[in-house]
Homo-oligomer: A and B are copies of this chain.
Amino acid sequence: MRNVRIVVTNCNTTQEMTEEIVRGARAAAGPGTAVLGLTPAWGPESAESWLDSYLSAAAVIDTLRTYDGPPYDAVVMAGFGEHGREGVRELVDVPVVDITEAAAHLACLLGRRYGVVTTLERSCGQIEDSLELAGVARNCAAVIGTGLGVLDLGDPDRTRAAFLAAAERARDAGAEVLVLGCAGMTGLQRTLTDRLDLPVVDGVAAAVKLAETLVALGLRTSRAGSLAKPEPKRRTWGATDPARV
């Protein structure tokens, strides 16, 4: 197998989160795969709303647009339920895999229905829409929020309990497989697997493997329709008055 270089884009500006995601990506990656994490230079410090999601989409696209590091073979977009994947697909000439869809694709192979457990309840709608447009919502039994905010995630006991409760609600709604609807939570994956005896899919790991797969098979985004390369034109990526930012 030839070496594969994967760029993983964080959806927010928090460097620690990028590092956590990269750790997860590397743990999943094959031996010949190199993972490079990219933190957007601008955008939200965490993505937890539609507003954040659109800001994040533009920032991630801009990050890849202005990237001038070593070449890469695939992009993994590590924002669960966040926007932007079609834009990145237009921009870059390599396969692009979003962790939301990636987790759902693998989950479909492991059971008749899957469920997503995530942090804030306000994100559930965004995740549902993302799965719908990716074409994998049919077998999604439920998207369940824990009500936990980002700060609450610091308390591991409370986090575990909240995710277990959400997972049970997903299972009661018919989920035979769980998708972890957030990035950087390896421990949680183990806990849920052990306690509920259900397969638990992590989006970052799923996306890394799917990216490796597309590269290995020589498959690229279609240019013959809605995802053709954007026309060259004048675009500005943020306010030109730096004082204003």
Binding site for B on A (CB under 8 A): 1, 13, 28, 30-31, 41-46, 48-55, 57-59, 61-62, 66, 83-84, 86-91, 95-97, 101, 105-106, 108-113, 121-126, 129, 132-139, 149, 171, 174, 176-177, 196-199, 201-202, 205-206, 209-210, 212-214, 216-217, 219-228, 230-231, 233-242, 244-245
Contact = CB atoms under 8 A, between A and B. Distances in A.
B55 A237 contact: yes
A230 B48 contact: yes
Given A62-B238, A122-B226, 10 more contacts: A30-B216, A58-B59, A111-B221, A111-B227, A112-B226, A125-B226, A149-B231, A199-B220, A206-B213, A209-B216
B136 A135 contact: yes
B231 A87 contact: no
B1 A54 contact: no
A109 B125 contact: no
Copies in the complex: 6
Nearest to A28: B217
27 contacts: A41-B240, A42-B236, A42-B240, A43-B235, A44-B234, A45-B233, A49-B90, A51-B88, A51-B230, A55-B62, A57-B83, A95-B110, A106-B210, A106-B217, A108-B135, A110-B222, A112-B227, A122-B225, A124-B226, A135-B139, A138-B138, A176-B227, A196-B224, A209-B213, A237-B238, A238-B239, A240-B242
A87 B54 contact: yes
Contact of A86 (B50, B113, B121, B224): B50
A174 to B, nearest CB: 7
Given A49-B90, A230-B49, A106 B219 contact: yes
A212 B33 CA distance: 15
Max chain B Cβ within 10 angstroms of own Cβ: one of A50, A113, A212: A50
